[in-house]
């Protein structure tokens, strides 16, 4: 029920969404590359730009490159992006990393707002460290230090 209402609401944003008889929007995982491209352009970029600008006005000029880096120029849009700051891969290194107050501020916002927002838009369950469940986490966008992607 709730899921259906969410999908219908989302449909309002997606121009290509729903025909007369086929009103079920395609899930992210089932989209073709071209559908994903269009979804990113029509839904993800506007939504996430709003989220990022609310945190820092410097994201007024946010584009595909802000998340995808060189993957936007070479057309692969492969994620995670090697051009975003890599995150520490161990708990100890991460604790060290967020001792810098500015990193801590960014990391907290990423955890509380960016990750869940992005997961919501893609309709993928966000990672929940309490229950160790979910499919979308920081490494949906960031590489992890020393981990082959
Ligand atoms: C806020 C960050 C963000 C922005 C901005 C963004 N993307 Fe994405 N994009 C992602 C993430 C994360 C994924 C991978 C999602 C997944 O499958 O886990 C992705 C995946 C894609 C894919 C699918 C790649 C594949 O291999 O299937 C395409 C195509 C794409 N993006 C295009 C774009 C375009 C075009 C823009 C600009 C209009 C854009 N993206 C803006 C985060 C972003
Ligand atoms: C939807 C994509 C996305 C997800 C998911 C994401 N980030 Fe980010 N993150 C970014 C982008 C884009 C930037 C760089 C913004 C810029 O250009 O300044 C960034 C920057 C950061 C920074 C600032 C680094 C620096 O050196 O300035 C930290 C810290 C960070 N992210 C931590 C995290 C953590 C921790 C998580 C998971 C809880 C996470 N991010 C999830 C996209 C993402």
| pLDDT, tens digit (0-9, with 9 covering 90-100), for 66-102 | 999 999 999 999 999 999 999 999 999 999 999 999 9
In this predicted model, what pLDDT tens digit does every residue of 21-64 receive, in sequence order?
Answer: 566 789 999 999 999 999 999 999 999 999 999 999 999 999 99
Alpha helices in 1-149 (DSSP H): 2-11, 33-39, 45-55, 64-68, 70-73, 91-97, 101-109, 115-122
Every domain of the chain and the residues it spans: 31-140
Q: Cβ distance 67 to 141 under 8 Å?
A: yes
Question: Which ligand places an atom closest to the C-alpha of 105?
Answer: 2
For the entire predicted model, the pTM comes to 0.89
Q: What pLDDT shows up at residue 23?
A: 62
CA of 67 relative to ligand 2 center, distance in Å: 9
Q: How far is CA 111 from the centre of its chain?
A: 11
Please report the atom of ligand 2 found closest to the CA of residue 66. 12
Query: Which tokens in the block code for residue 17?
Result: 């969404």
Query: Which tokens in the block code for residue 129?
Result: 């460290």
SS3 (DSSP) at 42: helix
Q: Is a pLDDT exceeding 60 seen at residue 148?
A: yes
Q: 17 vs 129, which has greater pLDDT? A: 129
DSSP state of 25: P
């Amino acid at each position: 029920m709730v899921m259906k209402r969410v999908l219908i609401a989302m449909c309002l944003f997606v121009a290509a969404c729903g025909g007369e008889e086929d009103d079920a929007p395609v899930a992210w995982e089932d989209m073709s590359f071209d559908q994903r491209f269009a979804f990113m352009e029509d839904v993800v970029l506007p939504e996430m730009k709003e989220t990022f600008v609310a945190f820092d006005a410097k994201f007024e000029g946010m584009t595909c490159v802000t998340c995808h880096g060189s993957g936007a120029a070479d057309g692969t849009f492969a994620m995670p992006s090697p051009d975003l700051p890599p995150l520490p891969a161990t708990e100890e290194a991460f604790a060290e990393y967020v001792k810098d107050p500015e990193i801590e501020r960014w990391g907290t916002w990423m955890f509380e707002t960016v990750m869940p927002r992005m997961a919501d838009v893609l309709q993928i369950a966000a990672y929940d460290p309490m229950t160790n469940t979910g499919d979308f986490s920081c490494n949906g966008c960031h590489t992890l230090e020393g981990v082959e992607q």
